[in-house]
Amino acid sequence: MLEAAGGVEALLLLSVLGGLLGLDQTSVGQTMVSRPLVAATLAGAVLGEPATGTAVGVVLELFHLVVLPVGGARFPEPGPAACGGAAAAVALPGPEGLAAGVALGLVWAHLGGATVTLLRTWNGRMVPDPTADRVTAAAVRGSHWGAISVDFVRGAALAGTGAAVGLLVVPAWIGGWPLDARATAGLLATAVAFPVGAFLRMFGGWRRHRWFVAGGAAVGLVLVAVA
Amino acid sequence: MDDGTLPGDPRTPGRTGRNPGGREIPRSIRWRLFLRSLSIQGSWNYRTLLGTGAAFVLLPLLRWLHGGEGDALDEAVGRHAGLFNAHPYLAGIALGAVARMEAQGAPPEMVERFKAAVRGPLGSLGDRLVWAGWLPACLLAALVSWFLGAPYWVVVTGFVVVYNGGHFALRIWGFRVGLREGRGVGERLRDTALPRIGDVLGRVCVLLAGILVPLLVARGPALDGPGAGVPLPWIVAAVVAGAAGLWRGERVKSGAVTAVVVAAVGFLMIGWIE
């Protein structure tokens, strides 16, 4: 399965991609290429199936709509994790690939969030103490670049291990998948409906924006019928 | 005495400070400050938050003001390495203003008071405008287009280009406003339309989410694009799940949702649920 997906080179590329995505999540740029929609597409492209990656990214994105990277909040990190999700979806043909990719992406996102917490704690020990008698420019430069470097390695490790699990472990573990494509779509739609509902509540939900919600739903129903 | 002017302020001839008359920050320094601001969160930590990052961003300016490496530079760096926080896209407002204040020789206490005063407003404004406004609006537009059958590369490229158009416009505007207004940037911010834009974006998000829900429930996701249709029992289940999320979603941690999903998928894979 690893050879079919591009071999060790693909894993290395995914690791580098994961490192860059990890940086983009918080440390450098924040251009949101680390959002699962983009990250999974890029990972899928590395493995030769960008559209598959996008499908995984769409579902992961729906789960993470409610996650706001506000200040010191602790949250899952879906960017590097999406590499593993895309890898699992590429490795498994059929609807089980999408389900497995989403499940792996969700688990790895929480793992990623835990590593972000560890990184920030580590950074706190590494940066110069502002209350110290002397804080040198060299110490500021060194600790800042050091933190960025560690973040890259963290993201790379996360994406690399996730991709390895997705390409090698998940296909070996699966015993069967009882749902067809439509039922799998239904399962995933049900799963993401909860966080999408929570997302609406974040903005005040039905009470505050009932006309916007209803209007949007009406437009959506029309689009379902005609598009 | 705080009469709103700074030592060396051309409005108060005869007063001098560390940099009499103020110094025009060279364009190359301004560029370096802006580019470094893209990495201000690089050393984010629970102790100083963005403090070390802010000091890192200001280093080229401080080195220029204090004649290179040495005790004067280290003293200036130490002042800026303390606690600081702001939304990363709006931090340039504060840093641009601080850069101007430093170039004009503002007393350190004045700079510190300014930084302490702006960090809260810049944080909350940015969170409302970007994390709860521009970002979800762009994501929802992309997701709606995917469920309508747009090619994956159109969806992804469109999101990246449109989102970052707004992103960098905000960063560049904020940095320029900070550099131009200096200490008076707070008043300038009060006159901007940013809070109202944040409110409008919130409504756009709700509208787009409303459009997305029927598409999601009726079509569902599939590997090669939006699905061909979700069976009725699953539509009912999705509507119930969505209503539950709308009713109680904020009380359920994302970890719990993940655990349920992974358990369901895992059991199905192993064959425990038929």
The interface predicted TM-score of the complex, written ipTM, equals 0.94
pLDDT value of residue B18: 37
pLDDT value of residue A160: 97
pLDDT value of residue B207: 92
Write the CA distances from B63 to A38, A137, B141, integer angstroms: 39, 9, 45
Which positions in chain A touch B214 (Cβ < 8 Å)? 217, 220-221, 223-224
**Inter-chain residue contact B221 with A58, CB threshold 8 Å:** yes
Q: What is chain A's pLDDT, residue by residue, as a tens digit (227 residues)?
A: 556 556 889 999 999 999 999 999 999 999 999 999 999 999 999 999 999 999 999 999 999 988 777 766 788 999 999 999 999 999 998 888 999 999 999 999 999 999 999 999 999 999 999 888 889 999 999 999 999 999 999 999 999 999 999 999 888 877 778 888 898 999 999 999 888 888 888 776 567 778 888 899 899 999 998 87
Which of A16-20, A174-178, B212-216, B226-230 ranks highest by mean pLDDT? A16-20
pLDDT value of residue B272: 55
Size of interface A-B (CB pairs under 8 A): 368
Other Cβ atoms within 10 Å of B29 Cβ, number: 17
pLDDT value of residue B4: 39
pLDDT value of residue A91: 93
Which positions in chain A touch B249 (Cβ < 8 Å)? 66, 194-195, 197-199, 201
CA–CA gap between residue A72 and residue B51 (Å, rounded): 13
Residue B274's pLDDT band (boundaries 50, 70, 90)?
very low
pLDDT value of residue B20: 38
Contacts of residue B22, defined as CB under 8 A and 6 or more positions apart, other chains included, come to B6, B8, B9, B10, B103, B104, B105
Which positions in chain A touch B239 (Cβ < 8 Å)? 193
pLDDT value of residue B12: 37
CA–CA gap between residue A4 and residue B190 (Å, rounded): 58
Q: B interface mutation test: which of A28, A127, A219 has the most B CBs within 10 A?
A: A127
Which of A185-189, B6-10, B142-146 ranks highest by mean pLDDT? B142-146
Which A-chain residues 151-170 have CB contacts (< 8 A) with chain B? 151
Decide: helix, strand or coil at residue B88: coil
Taking 70 as the threshold, does the pLDDT of residue B29 lie above it? Answer: yes
pLDDT value of residue A54: 97
User: In this structure, what are the phi and psi dihedrals at residue B216, rounded to the nearest 5 degrees?
Assistant: -65, -45
Which A-chain residues 49-108 have CB contacts (< 8 A) with chain B? 50-52, 54-55, 58-59, 61-72, 75-76, 89, 94-100, 102-103, 106-107
Contacts of residue B24, defined as CB under 8 A and 6 or more positions apart, other chains included, come to B103
CA–CA gap between residue A171 and residue A183 (Å, rounded): 20
pLDDT value of residue A71: 64
Q: What is the mean pLDDT of residues B90-97?
A: 96
pLDDT value of residue B42: 96
Closest C-alpha among B207, B61, B123 to residue A137: B61
Which positions in chain B touch A141 (Cβ < 8 Å)? 56, 59
User: In this structure, what are the phi and psi dihedrals at residue A127, rounded to the nearest 5 degrees?
Assistant: -70, 155
Q: What is the mean pLDDT of residues B26-53?
A: 96
Other Cβ atoms within 10 Å of A224 Cβ, number: 18
Mean pLDDT of chain B: 86
Residue with more model confidence, B29 or B258: B29
